[in-house]
């Protein structure tokens, strides 16, 4: 909310401050609408955080749907959740948490100007993200084979036939939307990788790495909630 401080420092006389020379790889890092790299970084950081806020509300609609139906059909949710591959979900959780570690270290590498480390850590993050998607794809294939895909070939034995469909629908929409975000994340990482290889980032300018990192951690956090909510319902009854 409102900052108490006078906005950004650096204008003692009210005249426009000409930007210091920030040329990197032949291109200035300072965009024309900003007066300083610091103002640009603050704007970039606030921008990505506001974007993540919109993503919280975006996934939030699915979480409220989950809340409504889990409280309405607890039995069906237990029965359907048991059909999911808990080991796949667990491994994927570890994979994503590890990728968050490599991403945080990548941001640090950018902060400290260590280009080699930055590149390798981005590669590691992408590799882990790809592994996540591979396991997910395998799970989806299994679910298709077992006829748990609503709208395609859905069959479910027992008393919860009707309402288990809602669980599976939620499972596919929630993990599908999450996977779509992962794919976009991989695209973002690829772009960051290319720019890093070109030496675009320095300790004074690494906003895109930071922003990409924040996005990646957010996608990890969504999975941190999806895993117990989808895979671990009433497992003791198994």
Partner 1 sequence: MTTALVPPRHYLNEKYGIASWLLTRDHKRIALLYLASVTAFFFLGGAFAVLIRLDLATPAGDLVSDDTYNKLFTMHGVIMVWFFLIPVIPSVLGNFLVPLMIGAKDLAFPRLNLASWYIYVLGAMFTTYAVVTGGLDTGWTFYTPFSTVSSTTNVTSAAIGIFITGFSSILTGLNFIVTIHRMRAPGMTWFRMPLFLWSMYATSLIFVLATPVLAITLLLIAAERVFHFGFFDPAVGGDPILFQHLFWFYSHPAVYIMVLPAMGVISELVAAFCRKPVFGYNFVAFASLAIAVLGFLVWGHHMFVAGTSVYAAMIFSMLSFLVAIPSAIKVFNWTATMYKGSIAWETPMLYAIGFIGLFTIGGLTGLILATIGIDVHVTDTYFVIAHFHYIMVGGTIMGYLGGLHFWWPKISGRLYNEFLAKVSAAIIFIGFNLTFFPQFILGYLGMPRRYHAYPPEFQVLNVLSSAGASILGLGYLIPMMYLMWSLRYGPIAHFNPWGAVGLEWTTSSPPPTENFKEIPVVTWDAYDYQAPVESHVA
Partner 2 sequence: MGQGGQGGQGGKYGLTDHIVSPRVYFAIYAILLVGTYLTIQIAFFDLGPLNTIAALTIAVLKAVLVVLFFMHVRHSTPLTWAVVAGSVFWLAILLTLTMTDYLTRGWRTYG
Determine the distance from the C-alpha atom of residue 150 to the mean position of all C-alpha atoms in its chain, rounded to a whole number: 26
**Gap between the Cα atoms of 40 and 26, Å rounded:** 19
**Gap between the Cα atoms of 98 and 104, Å rounded:** 10
- Interaction between residue 117 and partner 1 (CB under 8 A): no
Burial 145-170 (b: 16+ CB within 10 A, else e): eeebbbeeeeebeeebeebbbbbbbb
Nearer to partner 2, 19 or 224 (CB): 224
**Residue 74 CB, nearest approach to partner 2 (Å):** 10
Choose one: 31-39, 100-108, 195-203, 220-228; the region binding partner 1 (CB under 8 A).
Answer: 31-39
Which of 21, 23, 50, 71 binds partner 1 (CB under 8 A)? It is 50
Q: Is 45 exposed, middle or buried (0-12, 13-18, 19+ CB in 10 A)?
A: middle
157 binds, among partner 1, partner 2, none (CB under 5 to 8 A by kind): none
Which of 51, 87, 138, 141 binds partner 1 (CB under 8 A)? It is 51
**Residue 120 CB, nearest approach to partner 2 (Å):** 14
Nearer to partner 2, 40 or 196 (CB): 40
- Interaction between residue 20 and partner 1 (CB under 8 A): no
Which tokens hold the place of 89? Answer: 């979900």
Which tokens hold the place of 25? Answer: 């790889």
By CB under 8 A, name the binding residues for partner 2.
Answer: 1, 3, 8-9, 38, 41-42, 45-46, 49-50, 52-53, 56-57, 60-61, 63-64, 67-68, 71-72, 86, 90, 93-94, 97-98, 100-101, 103-105, 108, 111-114, 203, 210, 213-214, 217-218, 220-221, 224-225, 227-229, 232, 234-238
Residue 150 contacts residue 228 (beta carbons within 8 Å): no
**Gap between the Cα atoms of 109 and 104, Å rounded:** 9
**Residue 161 CB, nearest approach to partner 1 (Å):** 10
- Interaction between residue 139 and partner 1 (CB under 8 A): no
Can you tell me which residue has the tokens 């499972």?
A: 171
């Amino acid at each position: 909310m409102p900052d108490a401080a006078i906005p950004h420092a650096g204008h003692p006389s009210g005249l426009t401050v000409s930007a210091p020379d920030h040329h990197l790889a032949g291109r200035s890092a300072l965009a024309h609408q900003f007066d300083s790299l610091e103002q640009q970084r603050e704007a970039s950081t606030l921008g990505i955080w506001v974007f993540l806020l919109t993503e919280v509300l975006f996934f939030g609609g699915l979480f409220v749907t989950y809340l409504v139906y889990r409280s309405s059909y607890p039995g069906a949710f237990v029965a359907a959740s048991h059909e999911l591959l808990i080991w796949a979900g667990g491994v994927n959780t570890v994979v994503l948490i590890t990728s968050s570690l490599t991403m945080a270290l990548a941001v640090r590498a950018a902060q400290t100007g260590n280009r080699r480390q930055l590149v390798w850590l981005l590669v590691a993050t992408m590799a882990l993200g790809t592994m996540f998607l591979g396991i997910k794809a395998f799970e989806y294939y299994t679910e298709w084979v077992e006829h748990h895909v609503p709208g395609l070939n859905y069959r479910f034995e027992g008393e919860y036939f009707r309402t288990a469909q809602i669980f599976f629908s939620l499972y596919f929409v929630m993990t599908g939307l999450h996977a779509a975000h992962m794919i976009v994340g991989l695209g973002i990482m690829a772009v960051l990788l290319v720019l890093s290889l070109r030496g675009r980032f320095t300790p004074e300018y690494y906003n895109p790495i930071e922003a990409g990192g924040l996005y990646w951690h957010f996608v990890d956090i969504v999975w941190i909630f999806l895993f117990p909510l989808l895979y671990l319902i009433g497992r003791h009854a198994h």
